[in-house]
C-alpha cells in the first residue's frame, strides 16, 4: 500500500433550508466575506483501487460532512417516530447515492488528460462516527484501465460550490490517508491545491446564503489528486 505524503449531497429530505441552519452556525466563526460562500464542507479521503496487475477499477471515497450539518441531520433523524438512527441513515445513504448519480458523483477522473467514463455506484454506506456524518462508497470506472506508463488525475467538487470539498488535512497539509494507492509501487502520489482566479473568488464570496454559483464554479476551487505511473 502506498500513501500520499503530504470536504453532502443534500437529499430531498435535507433541503437548502437545513443547510442554511448549518451555515448560520459556521458564520459565527468566520468573517462576513469568508462566510458568504460556500455554506458547508466535506473532508474526503481516496483509495485508488487496483488489482495485482496495476489495473485501476475505481475510487473508494470516504466523505466526512462538516460537524454543523451532521448535527442537523442526526437531530432530524432521531425525531422520526418509529425509525431508528441506523434505519434513517440507511435511507439517507440511498438518497445521497441517487442524487449523486445524477451529478456524476461530483467526480471527474482523467487518464493522461482524457476523461474516463464512470460506472454506477452499488456499494455505499452512511454512518455516524465521531459526531460526523460519514458517507463512503466505491465509484467504479466503466472500463478498468492500466496505470503502468500512465497518469491518473481526479477532482471531486460540488459544481455550484455550495459545498466546499477538500482532502482530509491536518495543519493545512493532506493527511497520509488522504490519498492511498494499492498495488502499483512505481507510482508517485500528490495532491495539488486549487489556484482560482481572484475574480472567481470574489464571485463566490458575494453569493448570498440561499444562492448557488453557476454550474462549473466549483471546478475552479477543486483540489486535484495526481497519480503518476510513467
Instruction: Give the domain range for residue 37.
Output: 19-228
C-alpha–C-alpha distance, residues 75 and 68, integer Å: 11
| Least confident among 48-62, 135-149, 200-214 | 200-214
What dihedral do alpha carbons 99, 61, 115, 49 form, nearest 10°?
-140
- Nearest to 30, CA basis, from 38, 18, 20: 38
C-alpha–C-alpha distance, residues 51 and 41, integer Å: 32
- Residue 131 pLDDT greater than 60, yes or no: yes
Cis peptide leading into residue 38 (ω within 30°): yes
In a domain, 12, yes or no: no
In a domain, 178, yes or no: yes
128: cell is: 455516524
Q: Cell 485508488 sits at which residue? A: 48
Give whichever of 138-147, 192-201, 202-211 has the largest mean pLDDT. 138-147
Asked if 166 and 7 count as a contact pair (C-beta separation under 8 A), the reply is: yes
Q: What is the mean pLDDT of the chain?
A: 80
In a domain, 182, yes or no: yes
The predicted pLDDT at position 94 comes to 93
- Residue 9 pLDDT greater than 90, yes or no: no
In a domain, 137, yes or no: yes
Strand positions, DSSP E, 12-162: 40-50, 55-65, 107-111, 114-115, 124-129, 132-146, 151-156
Element of type H or E holding 26: helix 16-27
In a domain, 89, yes or no: yes
**Alpha carbon separation from 86 to 19, 76, 126 (Å, rounded):** 22, 13, 9
Q: Kind of pairing, strands 163-167 and 40-50? A: parallel
The predicted pLDDT at position 183 comes to 67
Give whichever of 9-13, 42-46, 206-210 has the largest mean pLDDT. 42-46
Asked if 64 and 136 count as a contact pair (C-beta separation under 8 A), the reply is: no
- Total domains in the chain come to 1
- Residue 39 pLDDT greater than 80, yes or no: no
- Nearest to 75, CA basis, from 7, 24, 21, 11: 21
Within 54-108, residue ranges assigned H as helices are 67-78, 85-101
Question: For 29-38, what is each residue's pLDDT tens digit?
Answer: 333 333 345 6
In a domain, 14, yes or no: no
Question: For 69-125, what is each residue's pLDDT tens digit?
Answer: 899 889 888 888 888 889 989 999 999 999 999 999 999 999 999 999 999 999 999
Asked if 90 and 141 count as a contact pair (C-beta separation under 8 A), the reply is: no
| Least confident among 82-96, 119-133, 144-158 | 82-96
In a domain, 217, yes or no: yes
Q: What are phi and psi of 101, to 5 degrees?
A: -60, -35
In a domain, 191, yes or no: yes
Amino acid at each position: 500500500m502506498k500513501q500520499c505524503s503530504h470536504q453532502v449531497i443534500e437529499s430531498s429530505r435535507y433541503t437548502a433550508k437545513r443547510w442554511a441552519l448549518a451555515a448560520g452556525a459556521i458564520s459565527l466563526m468566520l468573517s462576513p466575506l469568508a462566510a458568504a460562500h460556500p455554506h458547508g464542507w466535506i473532508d474526503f479521503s481516496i483509495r485508488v483501487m487496483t488489482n495485482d496487475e496495476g489495473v485501476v477499477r475505481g475510487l473508494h471515497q470516504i466523505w466526512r460532512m462538516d460537524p454543523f450539518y451532521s448535527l442537523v441531520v442526526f437531530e432530524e433523524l432521531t425525531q422520526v417516530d418509529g425509525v431508528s438512527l441506523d434505519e434513517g441513515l440507511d435511507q439517507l445513504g440511498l438518497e445521497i447515492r441517487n442524487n449523486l448519480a445524477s451529478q456524476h458523483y461530483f467526480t471527474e477522473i482523467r487518464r493522461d488528460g482524457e476523461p474516463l467514463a464512470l460506472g454506477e455506484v452499488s456499494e455505499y454506506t452512511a454512518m455516524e462516527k465521531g459526531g460526523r456524518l460519514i458517507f463512503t462508497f466505491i465509484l467504479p470506472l466503466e472500463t478498468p484501465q492500466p496505470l503502468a506508463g500512465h497518469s491518473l488525475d481526479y477532482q471531486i467538487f460540488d459544481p455550484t460550490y455550495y459545498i466546499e470539498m477538500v482532502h482530509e488535512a491536518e495543519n493545512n497539509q493532506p493527511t497520509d490517508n488522504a490519498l492511498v494507492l494499492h498495488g502499483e509501487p512505481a507510482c508517485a502520489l500528490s495532491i495539488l491545491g486549487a489556484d482560482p482566479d481572484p475574480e472567481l473568488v470574489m464571485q463566490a464570496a458575494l453569493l448570498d446564503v440561499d444562492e448557488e454559483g453557476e454550474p462549473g464554479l466549483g471546478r475552479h476551487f477543486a483540489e486535484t489528486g495526481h497519480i503518476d505511473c510513467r
